[in-house]
Chain A
Amino acid sequence: MSLISLPFLFFMICLLFAYYVAGEDQQWKVLLAASGFFYLWSNPVCIIFIIISIVSTFYLMRNPVKSHFIWTIVINLGLLILFKYSINFGIDNLIVPLGISFYTFMTIGYAHDCYDKRIRPSDNIWHYALFISYFPQLTQGPIGNYEEMHDQLIKYHPFDFQRIKTGGYRIIIGVFKKLVIAGRVGFYIDTVYSHPTGYSGLTLIVATLFYLIEMYADFSGYMDIVCGVSEMLGISLKENFKRPYFSKSIPEYWRRWHISLNEWFNKHLFMPSVTTKWNKKTANILSKVFPKAKKGTLRLIVPTLMVWIVTGIWHGARFSYLGWGIYFAIVMLISFCTQGYVKKFNAKIHWNPDNTFIKAFQIVRTLTLLSFGEIIYRSESFSDTVYIFKSIFTSTRINGASIAAAMTPFGNGNQAAASVIIIVILAIAQFVVELAKEKDEKAFTGHRYIYALLMIIVIALFGVAGKSNFMYQAF
């Protein structure tokens, strides 16, 4: 069930009614039933796999010993690998269970927290089932952790019209980002990236910049919708984005983009592997090769590589995803390793980090590095990646002919100019809002009715109909 569809709207109206009519002990049961219905509607056969995951993890982790923890990982990762990578083993007719990547992360995170005794294992399988299957976060996250979610999900939430309004406003923002912004640029990107060899440098740069816009508008738009839906139910979800495109470095960017996934990797993979004996041994070996390097930095090398390769493969078993992971691992490592030198150098030249121009330079530099990574990610083959980079660096011209050529993917000439004007206006509007919020979190919080009115009108008249599938839904 798409979150931007009439069935979902009807589902939400029924749910809100049932949820707020239900008694104190019944509310969470309504939510569990609704989550089950949501799953069955989307993927009826595959509900068995989420049930296997819930039941096995719940019972194994009631006694969180090492062997149970390992079994939990084997079962959940096994299912994930089976469905996600079966196509790479020649099995191409398996239907991937809805949200398997995200609920697997939540399950493993829960098991790890139980095993490390950070939380007490759940004593009620239905409560645990609701935590895993809670429908707003099931398909694309945010990846919630049990400690934060459990009480919220179980406790009674009396009807609060303020929360309905806040949630509704957030949903409007999300739908706006998805249907108006992502939907518009998506067509251009698909056209160019499906046959990049037909385009030259400037068009490829525009398509790549549009891809950055599409990714953010699509993914953060989705998060706005699920956070809004959850807010209406009185449950606050973890924020997954914090204006990532204003980051001044790549590590900062990854702290502000898909926050819950990166926190998950940090907590359950990166930090545990930094402290392992084998990593210390590897760091010792590396210290012989780089005698001047700090041991602390050397200890980050293998875990960083591992986390980024896993992140890449998590997106799918494709060269481009793996290449993307390796690229960011290298960028992150360069960032870690040069941090000290850069600080010293900056101090020497009296570089003021608060200077607006310097900040702007750092943001542009981050976006450039990010764009390179996204070219690798979005390309459909290695040869396409090579072609795109080569074209950008060797055949980019800014003149009338190349600008006209860059407009062709918008469709015929008649639509191109109108599309460009609208995209430019929307991009500037979005930029102004984000920039204001970057400076002051409370910016644009007044006059909400006017903003909502404008957004509803723009969504209704300029939204791209039929573009309700989200990018990360596939993961």
Chain B
Amino acid sequence: MKKVLITLAVAFIIITSAILFKNVYSCEMPIKNRGIRDAINTGDLDVLFIGSSTFRANVDMPMMDEAYDGRVYDISYGGNQLVATVIQYDEIRRRSPHDYGLIVFELGPMMLAQDVALSDSRVIWDLSLEGKQDLWISMYTAGNTDFPMLYEFFVTSGMDDLITFPVTEPFYSTRYYKGAKTDETVSPGKEWLENEEFDLSDKYLVEEQADAVANIINECKKDGQDFIFVESPCYYRLQDDPVFREYHEEFVRILDENGADYILASDVSFDTHDAALFEDMNHMSAEGRRVYTAELIKALKNR
């Protein structure tokens, strides 16, 4: 009996310590080339991108570096959500002593139709305990939580990365530069893009995501932070989809209603019919990334 109790007690102590370590200190791990900590360590920035994998794939950081003397960074996450974007913005403001000339948020129409959820375990890594709690409360308020999710959120998510950190970090860090992808991705070809199936018919507006857009705007205004929403061009089949257009209009309506500045996909010169520029429906190939970034730099500088 004594040995059983000791085993359970030791297990409890180790597990609790690991959970605490992950939740409290993961945001302090020396992660290179991506994430909030690395962005903060870069110092004052002229442009900070906060968005989803679309920004990560579509913005060419070496070109941005050149245009802004290296004072740029991108802290985008896979499938990032508008609800999480607010929390990431708060986190930056709370932890960073630096100035950010312009914060570029993503105008992703379909982000309005995403259930509030954890879309990328990197989010958990990068947020402080306070940020994690805020994100969990947002998910809970939206009614999208249960016990297994709580467990995944605070215990298992990101543990793989933590335990393998010394081995995997050198590999991961080569895949990014200032938070954006460095892969020389190529287009899968016109035939693939023309036949790729997608169905937006069952999408619905998620109120929490729509409210988050207004929250981002209000918080930036309150902080006196210059900001802009940017919509990346998608392959024409997606961009011209009636449901996509509907959400696009709704997003623009919210921005107009709250007096926010924005650059639409149609405001930049980019051929959405050119398959060579896309990796999939909404992520660009390396070629597309460079074409788009040149246009985006012009648009940002001309505003």
Interface residues of A (CB under 8 A from B): 6, 161, 165, 168, 412-415, 417-419, 421-422, 449, 452-453, 456-457, 460-466
B131 to chain A, nearest CB (A): 19
Q: Which residues of A contact B7 (CB under 8 A)?
A: 449, 452-453, 456
Contact with A along B110-130 (1 / 0, CB 8 A): 000000000011100000000
| Interface range on chain B (Cβ under 8 Å from partner) | 20 to 34
Q: Which residues of A contact B1 (CB under 8 A)?
A: 161
Shortest Cβ distance from B78 into A: residue: A412
| Docked-complex contact A418 and B164, CB < 8 angstroms | yes
> In whole angstroms, what is the CA distance A279 to B11 when docked?
60
- Please list the 4 inter-chain residue pairs (A to B) with the smallest Cβ-Cβ separation, ordered nearest first: A466-B148, A418-B160, A465-B148, A465-B151
Interface residues of B (CB under 8 A from A): 1, 3-4, 6-8, 10-11, 14-15, 18-19, 78, 120-122, 146-149, 151-152, 155-156, 159-161, 163-164, 167-168, 171-172, 175
Q: Which residues of A contact B175 (CB under 8 A)?
A: 413
| Docked-complex contact B156 and A465, CB < 8 angstroms | yes
B26 to chain A, nearest CB (A): 13
| Docked-complex contact A462 and B152, CB < 8 angstroms | no
B35 to chain A, nearest CB (A): 11
| Docked-complex contact A456 and B159, CB < 8 angstroms | no
| Docked-complex contact A414 and B161, CB < 8 angstroms | yes
Question: Given A413-B175, A460-B11, A461-B18, does the pair A421, B151 have CB atoms closer than 8 Å?
Answer: no
Most buried by B among A421, A461, A463: A461
A416 to chain B, nearest CB (A): 9
**Residue in A165, A414, A456 whose beta carbon sits within 8 Å of that of B172 in the complex:** A414
A142 to chain B, nearest CB (A): 27
B19 to chain A, nearest CB (A): 8
Shortest Cβ distance from A467 into B: residue: B148
| Docked-complex contact A462 and B156, CB < 8 angstroms | yes
| Docked-complex contact A415 and B160, CB < 8 angstroms | yes
Q: Which residues of B contact A464 (CB under 8 A)?
A: 156
Q: Which residues of A contact B161 (CB under 8 A)?
A: 414-415, 418
> In whole angstroms, what is the CA distance A464 to B122 when docked?
17
Given contacts A421-B168, A453-B10, A462-B160, 12 further A-B contacts (CB under 8 A): A168-B4, A413-B175, A415-B161, A417-B167, A418-B163, A418-B164, A418-B168, A421-B167, A457-B14, A461-B19, A461-B159, A465-B149
> In whole angstroms, what is the CA distance A213 to B226 when docked?
53
Question: Given A413-B175, A421-B164, A422-B163, does the pair A461, B15 have CB atoms closer than 8 Å?
Answer: yes
Question: Given A161-B1, A417-B172, does the pair A461, B155 have CB atoms closer than 8 Å?
Answer: yes
Q: Which residues of B contact A449 (CB under 8 A)?
A: 3-4, 6-7
